[in-house]
Chains A and B, each alone.
Chain A
């Protein structure tokens, strides 16, 4: 059994650790590329959202490398992600790929089936072994998210542009070639050390931007055209509203216990959006408000074309923009997104933020004297 899974940012590192700790054979899908998207677009329904197209591309590329089993997670609405797995099965069946799809879905009352599925997949009935592997996978996710945060901080301040990404990209290349928790953890620690030692330029003006929107497009760099790198090199320190480690803790550990760490965010969103409406719309609005309150210089929302919850959030954001006097940019990505247009808009936005900041400081100076 050779197992593969779809990409979603750094999630592959966690999943790789999880499966390898269980002693299973893993095929990590190729990093998402233009080709991945092309394959996906060819086989998917036209108006489906971008993540499904990428997933299909990942699957087919992995199948070509010999994978015969796919792991996919699911949810139960109202966002259409919940029905991804069914559609993916249909698509793969249609193009004649013989694969097993394991669907790790929220058990709707049927716990027996849910656990027997997990036992079968894990090839063991020892719950401690599974929990241990899961624990290690989550730890890796925390480590890599920690590293990401350091990279966000360092990128706009690095003296030599590209220094951070030299180590960062090297790490991703190396991870594919090692096996198990210990080796990967060691690599991450080494990369962290390297990135921390990147020389900073103390004269650089850094502006802060909050990145909000749909989780997949925020986390997966190939989909948002490597936005964090682009922004970093323009002198922008970013903060993402959602991250994988947060998502995993929230959905796998806290949610079944009916707990949440997002109370603060929901409260911030309440005057604008009262209830959850699926996806991460409430988080988008809530974090938008929180970032504005924390004095960020701007907000950027990213989401895949036709994403339903984010459209609602998008119609609310201008109100927040006005009430908190914070510039806001909305970027929508799909398979047609052109790099040049994207870049122009980002540059213009960053220019605006820099000018605003300069104006603010000079106004303060004038008032002082």
Chain B
């Protein structure tokens, strides 16, 4: 019987899951995803995580608990760094340990370290480590990786094309091109991919915007080179990969000035956001005079309050448009 590998539908899932899923399926394993985030996942996560952790990490714990009893192996890689001289948030670096010490009785964990901080030389070795759980044959593993990379690139292209991987699944019907933009309003939604693409965690923010016939762009749709070029102008190298993506997008928006508003979705207690959000706000709202809305979510957030703020923000954008930008950007 095929070995069952569980992938939690949280955190880096939204960035990489086609890669991992195809990789393990090519190797002959059965890949089981946890259910999309719901109230139960959140409650379980909140109960089993330290109070201080941020919402996405709590949700992640919930997803692990969701998978715990139905898989043989849980996939929680130790993602330290994916690009040279860059890191992911410290909580990501210590995630396997955090989960392991918070949830008792877990099945085997794949906690291979991904660390390309110094160089990518260790790439092949890292891939082999990931595949070793299923097979010891390096050629088979390498072929599976190549196939997985192909699927991953397709996934990336689809997102660049204007699709949203809500809860990890790309809904072709939901493509922006299929929706008529009546109002001709374009909003940039900034934030970590695991916040904005998690429907429950983000309280359907993307869906709400699309329902209003508003064109939405997210950092994942930006050109990689352009982001790097923008961030290269910073005085100090931005050493968080997520931060670089978001800040690069914010700088692009500020420079081009072609969106009508910026919404930043942050999770309470996020260390990276505390800096990136502030810098993004300085670049977009203060320097470029673009309306800016910050939504901070945690496990207590009430949806009604978010709805009200969102509506008010969108109304303001409309008025600004009508009154030829004579309204202040300070909402």
A309 to B275, CA, bound (A): 16
B235 beta carbon closer than 8 Å to chain A: yes
A74 to B236, CA, bound (A): 10
Chain A proximity mask over B228-248: 1 for CB below 8 Å, otherwise 0 = 000000111111100000000
When distances are taken between beta carbons in the complex, the residues of chain A under 8 Å from B88 are 78
Least Cβ–Cβ distance between B241 and chain A, in angstroms: 10
* Residues A134-174 near B (CB distance < 8 A): none
When distances are taken between beta carbons in the complex, the residues of chain B under 8 Å from A45 are 274-275, 277-278
Which of B50, B94, B240, B273 touches A273 (beta carbons < 8 Å)? B94
Are the CB atoms of A311 and B52 closer together than 8 Å?
Answer: yes
Number of residues on chain A facing chain B (CB within 8 A): 45
Least Cβ–Cβ distance between B122 and chain A, in angstroms: 13
Are the CB atoms of A49 and B274 closer together than 8 Å?
Answer: yes
Q: Which residue of the partner chain A has the closest CB to B98?
A: A315
A115 to B238, CA, bound (A): 22
B282 beta carbon closer than 8 Å to chain A: yes
When distances are taken between beta carbons in the complex, the residues of chain A under 8 Å from B4 are none
B268 beta carbon closer than 8 Å to chain A: yes
A342 beta carbon closer than 8 Å to chain B: no
Interface residues on B, range: 35 or more
B53 beta carbon closer than 8 Å to chain A: yes
A15 to B230, CA, bound (A): 36
Are the CB atoms of B271 and A77 closer together than 8 Å?
Answer: no
Evaluate whether A87 and B52 lie within 8 angstroms (CB atoms) in the complex, with A49-B274, A79-B90 already known: no
When distances are taken between beta carbons in the complex, the residues of chain B under 8 Å from A281 are 90, 94
Which of B98, B236, B239, B274 touches A312 (beta carbons < 8 Å)? B98
A47 to B90, CA, bound (A): 17
A73 beta carbon closer than 8 Å to chain B: no
B258 beta carbon closer than 8 Å to chain A: no
Are the CB atoms of B235 and A86 closer together than 8 Å?
Answer: yes
When distances are taken between beta carbons in the complex, the residues of chain B under 8 Å from A318 are 101
Q: Which residue of the partner chain A has the closest CB to B235?
A: A86
A309 to B87, CA, bound (A): 13
Interface centre among A49, A277, A307 (most CB of B within 10 A): A277
Least Cβ–Cβ distance between B151 and chain A, in angstroms: 29
When distances are taken between beta carbons in the complex, the residues of chain A under 8 Å from B53 are 311, 315
Are the CB atoms of A83 and B275 closer together than 8 Å?
Answer: yes
A349 beta carbon closer than 8 Å to chain B: no
B78 beta carbon closer than 8 Å to chain A: yes
When distances are taken between beta carbons in the complex, the residues of chain A under 8 Å from B240 are 77-78
Are the CB atoms of A278 and B87 closer together than 8 Å?
Answer: yes
Least Cβ–Cβ distance between B44 and chain A, in angstroms: 16
Which of B80, B234, B271, B277 touches A275 (beta carbons < 8 Å)? B80
14 A-B pairs within 8 Å (CB atoms) are namely A45-B275, A49-B274, A74-B236, A76-B85, A78-B89, A85-B236, A273-B94, A275-B113, A275-B115, A277-B90, A277-B94, A311-B52, A311-B53, A315-B49
Please list the residues of chain B having a beta carbon within 8 angstroms of any beta carbon in chain A.
49-50, 52-53, 78, 80, 85-91, 93-95, 97-98, 101-102, 113, 115, 234-240, 266, 268-275, 277-279, 282, 286, 296
5 additional contacts, CB 8 Å, given A80-B272, A306-B52? A45-B277, A48-B274, A94-B286, A275-B113, A313-B94
Please list the residues of chain A having a beta carbon within 8 angstroms of any beta carbon in chain B.
45-49, 74, 76-80, 82-83, 85-87, 89-90, 94, 103, 105, 108, 272-279, 281, 305-309, 311-316, 318-319, 332
A-B pairs, top 10 by smallest CB distance, nearest first, are A78-B87, A77-B239, A312-B94, A277-B93, A45-B278, A308-B90, A278-B90, A47-B274, A308-B271, A277-B94
